[in-house]
Amino acid sequence: MIKVGIIGATGYAGNELVRLLLQHREAQIIWYGSRSYIEKPYADVYRNMFQLVEEKCFDDNIEELANSADVIFTATPQGYCASMMNDNILSKTKIVDLSADFRIKDVKTYEAWYKIEHKSPQYLEEAVYGLCEINRDKIKNARLVANPGCYPTCSFLSVYPLIKEGVIDANTIIIDAKSGTSGAGRGAKVDNLFCEVNENIKAYGVGVHRHTPEIEEQFSYQAGFPVFINFTPHLVPMNRGILVTAYASLKKQRKEEELREIYQNYYKEEKFVRFLEQGICPETRWVEGSNFVDVNIKVDIRTNRVIMMGAMDNLVKGAAGQAIQNMNLMFGLKETEGLLQVPMFP
């Protein structure tokens, strides 16, 4: 049994880690970390866990936790994980960081977009970007995995085969993304009240959203040169789900079938990426509660652009599910262990 500690267990991503890990046959949660609810029974914070979790919340003592946990998930605000990281911890336990601290290799880029100082840049090189579909082998041997952001996961998997294959002009990529409200977290803010979100749609962080450089970095690796994109997230009145609608110009005219073959090739072995049948648009309802990303494309010959679409549950493949997928790889388990939930509809 893998002993798991969660720091930040009372956010939505933390609660989703708990939900999934309770159904994982090889893992056991030994620490429910939460600064806000110290000593409070976890099931009082999330009553879905009544009679399922008996433990109380503990303070965020990562040093102590490193002694007993085989792996620690940090589902914490930006800056926390970097500020706590040291050799002692990494020598005793593995870390899957759900924050952005170790996702971006260039510390200046991180600091410019996140507006905070990075407290342990010395680990950036070692940290593995935990997008299992592309870094599977590196993850297996990693001590420190940077779990990708929700938007970057969905954006990347929707787009990257066409970058990698040089089919699209990478600097024409525009990503228009839409997310459910759980992505905004459980903090008590007026902007996230029911009456403010319900019956509304809005763009936010236009031109300045922090997931932009993360996506660009990963796209750049695939392209082989620096890629700059437009990324516009929107808030949708639903609990879960991310939909990505991405646009790019084709370098030369292509038939949709050709591009479909590329995707089929890239994803034929991938359990969690479902490349849909021609003409079917991904929809968030079809992946809810599961670790699937549904992907499809449409070529518009009138404008010589391709529209690439992806749908995903932001709390599963976009956070807790992918973190567990990483854990499975790091511990030599079957990659799908604990992650085969059938999407729940409606």
Catalytic residue ranges:
150
Q: Which of 91, 125, 141, 194 binds a second copy (CB under 8 A)?
A: 194
Strand, coil or helix: 279: coil
Residues 157-176, one symbol each (x = binds a second copy by CB under 8 A, - = not), give --------------x--x-x
Distance between CA atoms of 24 and 344, rounded to whole angstroms? 18
3-state secondary structure of 305: strand
Question: Please, which residue, 152 or 180, has the CB nearer to a second copy?
Answer: 180
Q: At what angle do helices 211-223 and 107-114 cross, to 10 degrees?
A: 150
Q: Which range of residues in 109-117, 140-148, 151-159, 177-185 is near a second copy by CB under 8 A?
A: 177-185
User: How does DSSP classify residue 232?
Assistant: E
The interface with a second copy within residues 302-321 (CB under 8 A) comprises: 302-303, 305, 307, 309, 311
Q: What are the distances in angstroms from CA 286 to CA 1, 238, 240, 341? A: 32, 14, 11, 12
Strand duo 293-300 + 305-312: pairing: antiparallel
The residue from 195, 252, 253, 257 that contacts a second copy (CB under 8 A) is: 195
The stretch near a second copy (CB under 8 A) out of 50-58, 73-81, 105-113, 327-335 is 50-58
Token pair in block for residue 335: 């990659």
Report d(CA 68, CA 46) in Å as an integer: 25
Nearer to a second copy, 15 or 325 (CB): 15
Stretch that binds a second copy, among 94-102, 134-142, 154-162, 289-297 (CB under 8 A): 289-297
Contact between 291 and a second copy by CB under 8 A: the answer reads no
User: Torsion angle of alpha carbons 198, 113, 144, 120, nearest 10°?
Assistant: -130
Instruction: Give residue 60's region: left, alpha or beta (phi > 0; psi -120 to 50).
Output: beta
Restricted to residues 101-160, the positions that interact with a second copy (CB under 8 A) are none
Query: Distance between CA atoms of 166 and 160, rounded to whole angstroms?
Result: 10
Smaller CB distance to a second copy: residue 26 or 143?
26
Shorter beta-carbon distance to a second copy: residue 78 or 245: 245
Among 38, 52, 59, 126, binds a second copy (CB under 8 A): 52
Query: Using the rule CB under 8 A, which residue among 39, 125, 188, 332 binds a second copy?
Result: 188
CA dihedral over 121, 127, 133, 134, signed as positive or negative = positive
224 scored as a contact of a second copy (CB under 8 A):
no
Among 120, 239, 262, 331, binds a second copy (CB under 8 A): 239
Does 203 engage in binding with a second copy (CB under 8 A)? yes
Question: 120 or 172: whose CB is closer to a second copy?
Answer: 172
Cα–Cα distance measured from residue 102 to residue 106, given in angstroms and rounded to the nearest whole number: 10
Q: Name residues contacting a second copy, limited to 242-271 (CB under 8 A).
A: 243, 245, 247
Q: Binding segment for a second copy among 14-22, 91-99, 106-114, 318-326 (CB under 8 A)?
A: 14-22
Q: Under rule CB under 8 A, how many of the chain's residues touch a second copy?
A: 83
Query: Looking only at Cα atoms, what is the longest distance across the chain?
Result: 62
